[in-house]
Amino acid sequence: MPLALLPYQEEGAAHLAASERCALYDEMGVGKTAQAIRALDLIDARHVIVVCPAGARQVWAGEFKKFATIPRRVIKGSEIHHLKLFLKGRIDVLLLSYEMATSWGPRLEGELLDAIVFDEAHYLKGLETKRTKALLGSDLNNHERRDPIRGLARWAAYCWFLTGTPNSNDAADFWTHARFCRATTLPKRLFADRYYRRRSGTYGDAHDPIDASVAELQQVIRSYSLRRTKDEVGLKLPPIWLTSVEVDGDTSEIRQLLREFPGLEQAIVDAVEKGGLAFLEGQHIMTLRRLIGEAKAPMYLEMLTEELANGLDKVVVFGVHLRALGHIRDGLRRAGHDCVEIHGGTSERQRMEAVHAFQNDPQCRALLGNITAAGTALTLTAAAQVDMFESAWNPAGNAQALMRVHRIGQARSVRGRFIALANSIDETVSAIVSRKASAIIKTGTMAREYA
């Protein structure tokens, strides 16, 4: 017997089923996956592809079992044999990571689909990326085409975007979805010029909505999408409190690196505050972030070990670098605190086992997660504390990670802490990203243009 949806979820499913191309922008934790599955039932979809982050495929498989009213054979696509089964009609729903969908796109050319669902659809925004070209085509910016879709999506009768953070890095990120859903025919540059004020920086442009154009932009976005916050649908969760904590550490190597690159510190702060995050992918930036993580790991470990020994039951720790997280893991285990970890090399089976242990085993005190691998598609409500030991440098990544604990099923107030290395650039950057994450979580809005 499938689980019943809440009334607002039935409304969301009807919204998707009523449009061949549309978006569901509900706030994180409102239940977009269940709504999409019910929408597939409403259109009687039998030949479906779901594209999602690799770690979310198991979640989708479980949700189909819980919510689908139509029996379907569902498989997580991980080898070419799975694709062949789907093409032969022996599999109804193929769950693909974005990487696999991009790779297998040519093999799916001409395969008529009832529906394709893009989960965490903010992954599709940059026209220049290989995944966007493969899945949505390369003609989105061609204003002469009323229907510019040329990628894998063109073979689907229904195409739906699901994400709680469609403008995860920049306010103008809405354009890709709006163009895809036929809400605008403007090429990206003209769309940005019409609705946004451009702030040019050394490392790229950022955009703020033009006051006089906000109402029109809201109308464009609402013409193809639906967005509800937890408060609007009546989901009353305990509060989440975000704080910053500074820990000491040896900053000598960090200071030396910054001396080798004059002006780098201010450039990083500007990029995190104003946009241009692509700049932050340089090798010296990666080295800087690694040095910061390794410098603050010893004192953070000391603080966390003491807290666990004095009453803290469970904690989720998000980081970026395996070496720093490994130092914390090893230290916790030496102190007698059981913990599990999820990172890029964790298999789906290991991932689900780690989550199960953390959620159900009282002896498992900590889950250490890479923010990319563990920051989405997990429910970690056994903890009421999240430590952003190393945070993402975009606000959506941090908000998504914090929502792993602050979601349906959480009965306690949640504390989220941004851990910063004292007397370093990490203090400034942590203050910026924590403020931005707080704005997303507390207001439930993505940007002023979609208020």
Check the CA dihedral 108-109-115-120 and report its sign: positive
**Token pair for 104:** 């297998």
**Token pair for 75:** 């498989």
Residue 374 DSSP symbol: H
Tell me, what's the pLDDT at 442?
A: 65
Give 313-365 pLDDT, tens digit per residue.
999 999 999 999 999 999 999 999 999 999 989 988 899 999 999 999 999 99
74 pairs with which residues across the strands? 93
First to last CA, the chain: 38
The per-residue pLDDT string of the chain (451 residues; one tens digit each, 9 = 90 and over) reads 889 999 999 999 999 999 999 999 998 888 999 999 999 999 999 999 999 988 889 889 999 999 999 999 999 998 999 999 999 999 999 999 999 999 999 899 899 999 999 999 988 877 778 898 899 987 776 655 555 557 899 999 999 999 988 876 666 678 889 988 989 988 888 888 898 887 765 545 667 778 888 899 899 999 999 999 888 898 888 989 999 999 999 999 999 999 999 988 988 888 888 766 665 667 788 899 999 999 999 999 999 999 999 999 999 999 999 999 999 999 999 999 999 999 989 988 899 999 999 999 999 999 999 999 998 889 999 999 999 999 988 888 898 899 999 988 899 999 999 999 999 999 999 999 998 888 777 655 443 334 3
| Type and span of the H or E element at 216 | helix 214-222
H-assigned helices in 22-150? 32-42, 57-67, 80-87, 98-104, 130-136
| Type and span of the H or E element at 116 | strand 113-119
Check the CA dihedral 267-269-273-275 and report its sign: positive
Q: How wide is the angle at C-alpha 128 spanned by C-alphas 127 and 133, nearest 5°?
A: 65
Which has the closest alpha carbon to 137: 100, 97, 176, 88? 176
Cα-to-chain-centroid distance, residue 200: 26
198 pairs with which residues across the strands? 207
The CATH T-level fold of domain 240-450 is Rossmann fold (3.40.50)
Tell me, what's the pLDDT at 2?
A: 86
- Cα separation, 40 vs 116, whole angstroms: 10
Give 14-68 pLDDT, tens digit per residue.
999 999 999 999 988 889 999 999 999 999 999 999 999 888 898 899 999 999 9
Tell me, what's the pLDDT at 271?
A: 83
Check the CA dihedral 310-316-322-324 and report its sign: negative
- Cα separation, 71 vs 48, whole angstroms: 13
Distances 282 to 286, 288, 362 between C-alpha atoms, Å: 6, 10, 41
- Cα separation, 157 vs 151, whole angstroms: 13
Write down the domain spans for the chain: 7-231, 240-450
Q: Over the range 359-379, which residues count as b (16 or more CB within 10 Å of their CB) and which as e?
A: beeeebbbbbbbbbbbbbbbb
CATH number of the structural domain 7-231: 3.40.50.10810
pTM of the model: 0.79
> Do 7-231 and 240-450 share a fold?
yes
